[in-house]
Structure 1
Amino acid sequence: MCNPLPVTEQPVTIPTPLLDVLGQHARVAYDMTLGEMGEDCGVLDTKIGGIGFLSEDEDLPRCGNCSGPMTLVVQLNLAQMPSDVQETLGLGDEGLIQLYVCKEEDDCGHYEEFSEAELVRYVPAEDIENARDRDDVLSLYEDREDDKVFQESQVKGIVRRSRDFPKAAELRSVLKGLDEETEDTVHEYCDNEACRVKSPVTVGGWFNGKETVSYPKCPECGEPMTSTVVGIESDEDREMLWGDYATVHVSQCLHHRRVFAMTWDY
């Protein structure tokens, strides 16, 4: 059993002149507070990197291109998330969301949408009752080099930013028809310290692409998958690098809640 994570509030105030322009586009974002890198934690905990949940009867997810075992990037335990995150994701108040990738990126292409070198999956609560223990999961990596598993950090808490706004890469497309002076003011405000992402792992909010933002289309309905589940920034210390220091996003279809996709945004 994992207890809910403690949540602290970071209010973000919109200046009155920009309230009408920005208010309707604000989203709530949750910056994850990470523990020390390399500190072991439970297989059901919310974490970045390390060893995640596997059921007693399953192996590590395998890359569809090279057949090698894939590596955990992030695991979210919904039981530890705030109730409004649970409501937004529409998957209930229990279960796991996991992102795995193949680290042989030069050959396997996990930078492509819906690539077989990546796996985003939802594990419902009823399927996590029979979990492999940590050492058992770790033994599955024995034939791999040490750098094939990302350094683990447990999420210790959550900072709730009351308002998150589109970043520069998509701000102009969201805010159409503004005069030049207002547009410059909006850009300056959205780039200030209070509006910036404070953690390498953020749940919800807007995509954090500085130069590019790409929303994949749901294979079920063809609609853009604009709901952000989690963003993970490149981390050199963790050797978790996405291209030229990109941010990886997991997005979700608003109509098909168990359809997820991973994209890179610079």
Structure 2
Amino acid sequence: MPIDDLPRLGLGTYSDADREQWTDTVETALDVGYRHVDTAQVYENERYVGEGIAASDVDRDDLFLATKTVHIDLPPEPSGVPDAIDGCLDRLGVDYVDLLYVHWPSGLYDAEAVLPAFDDAVDDGRIRNVGLSNFTPELLDEAREVLDAPVAAHQVELHPLLQQDELVEYAQRHDHWLVAYSPLAQGEVVDVPVLREIADKHDATPAQVSLAWLSSKDNVAAIPKASSRDHLRENLAALDLELDDEDVARIEAIDREQRFVDPDHAPWNR
């Protein structure tokens, strides 16, 4: 699926346990209408995500599949990156992914060592688009200088309690997607008074309000995690919720900047 057609709402698949659940969850999500699935090497569930895709009736070309790889074998030897890319494809059981992210620019990350392997994978068709995750504007600039392929997407924690204005503006200026993980602030949005009031106004849920706010922004998509059919449908229905200017202004006036994902928990820091 072309990057321009990236669905505004996808399925996030991070979990610390019960990774096998993602086979059924992914198959269910595709059945109810999802066409964007996101996983990662370090989630240790790519195999199960791939099994869910294989079990569904959705044609592979109609699905936008994204994963993330890491750079644990660097520096100084860059040979580990192609192997990591192949490992993602093998575990997913696919010939290509629509989007492959560099997961974190920390630890052993070095742009000159890592990113050329991504260009090579684009050239030989193993990946369709290059993404970055948890980068600063300065590191985004560096990556854009090193890469031959365009940066297609940047994935970060983004929700009404962490609005990431600088990175939203950067994505819009450079015309790449900003993909929001933890878009429901790991469930905390349900207790935010402003979001509850807006939800009541629209006969919706605070989660739907948060997702509608994100999807209303140019160049922004979201990948909430859900497992039950009802929650999957509820999140997808947020795309039909239209917030008015007053709603948006109230959300953007929320005076909090709270992260729920700690980079110190990245695998290379354990």
The TM-score normalised by the length of structure 1 is 0.25
Query: Which structure is higher in helix share?
Result: 2
Higher relative contact order by CA 8 Å / sep ≥ 6: 1 or 2? 1
The TM-score normalised by the length of structure 2 is 0.25
